Amino acid sequence: MPILYYSDPGGGTYFAMVQLTDDGDHINYNHTAGTFLSNFVGDSGVDYSPTVRVDGVLSGGVVIPAVSGTDDLVDVSSLAANIAGVALTGAAKAAADTDLSCTRGGVGTEYLINSIVCDSAGTFTVVAGTGAAADNSTGARDAAGAPPLIPLLKIEVAQVRFTTSADAAVTAAEIKMTPNVTREMSRNGKTIYARTEGGALGSPGVQMTSAQSLIHTGAVSKGIWMSGYSESFTEWQGANNVQLQGETVSSTSSETFTETRSFPASEVSDGSFDWDYTDLANDPEWATMDGKGALVWFKLYQKSSDTSYLAGQSIVSGVPAVAASGPTTTSLTLSGGTKYLRITG
């Protein structure tokens, strides 16, 4: 017979901040230990949704020629950033630093780029590139005259580009802080709470809006980190007539002098199921409705012995129905989620 499972509103199994694995396209980053991620926030205020930290600058970290006026030195202001899964924000942001020493090239290798970097302890350092006889600032990282590769677990805050070999005070024109070109910014990504690949259950994680630059040692991208809860599931007792959220396709038409054209549109339709509850106050399933906007995962099997199933994440809502006699059946609505996933065993 069919069976319906739902995710534990308590959040399942916690996993600490961990670096996600690049899927190879530098857009999708996977949490390989999990299958379904929790996104439940209850009325009590307890938040079981993931925390995602994308390495990069949030604000501050402005690099200027050293106030001391000393040759080849720069100062940097305090920095708010995400680095290696650590949020350097508020009272924990990186403190300002002064007199960071930059390297110049020699005669014939005057074109040399220094990268100002910061680690998760809030420490600023300078990574020097390799000098060249001509400008190669747009060339491949670590090439002569090009920017250096940034060490792992650090971010690039700015570049200092020298074109002369003689020691001198750094000029403002030599300091470059172009976002996502010479200055690594923290960007938000889309959290993927579950993923299917050809019908097979893949790994959840984060999807960035574009491919991330491979500017770190080993020609890898910035770190993308996550902590949260992997779901655990239990059977929903007394469920019947289950329909997960799906996709409804409709169309509008436009008539021209020569033809009538149809324009399709789609939207996620609500799902529903009937529930014959046992106890108005104490059935554990009531906890799934603890909180406006609390998303719950469901897994629907046609037979309990099946390995294939449908999965969907929805907000559950409904009002208890109490009859004078007979079953205490109430109709529940599934909304606010996405189209169901089909997982083949």
DSSP state letter for 41: B
CA distances from 218 to 142, 151, 161 (A): 11, 9, 23
Q: DSSP label at 209?
A: S
The residue extents of the domains of the chain are 1-53+187-345, 56-176
Q: Strand, coil or helix: what is 91? A: helix
Comparing C-alpha atoms, which of 79, 97, 96 is closest to residue 88? 79
| Terminal alpha carbon distance of the chain | 18
Quote the CA–CA distance of 29 and 209 in Å, as a whole number. 12
Q: What is the pLDDT of residue 34?
A: 67
Instruction: List alpha helices for 77-209, DSSP H.
Output: none
Cβ neighbours for 12, distance < 8 A, ≥ 6 positions apart: 38, 48, 229, 230, 231, 232
Q: Which two tokens stand for residue 108?
A: 């014939």
User: Any long-range contacts for 133-141 (C-beta under 8 Å, 24+ apart)?
Assistant: 133/108, 133/109, 135/111, 135/163, 136/111, 137/111, 137/113, 137/161, 141/214, 141/215, 141/219
pLDDT digits (tens), the chain, 345 positions? 899 999 988 778 999 999 999 999 999 999 987 689 998 887 777 888 999 999 999 999 999 999 999 999 999 999 999 999 999 999 999 999 999 999 999 999 999 999 999 999 999 999 999 999 999 999 999 999 999 999 999 999 999 999 999 999 999 999 999 999 999 999 999 999 998 888 888 899 999 999 999 999 999 999 999 999 999 999 999 999 999 999 888 888 888 888 888 888 888 999 999 999 998 888 999 888 876 678 999 999 999 899 999 999 999 999 888 888 888 899 999 999 989 999 996
DSSP letters spanning 240-295: EEEE--EEEEEEEEEE-SS-EEEEEEEEEEPEEEEEE-S-TTT-GGGGGGSSTT-E
| Collapsed DSSP state (helix, strand, coil) of residue 6 | strand
pLDDT tens digit string along 202-219? 899 999 999 999 999 999
Q: How many whole angstroms separate alpha carbon 343 and alpha carbon 200?
A: 5
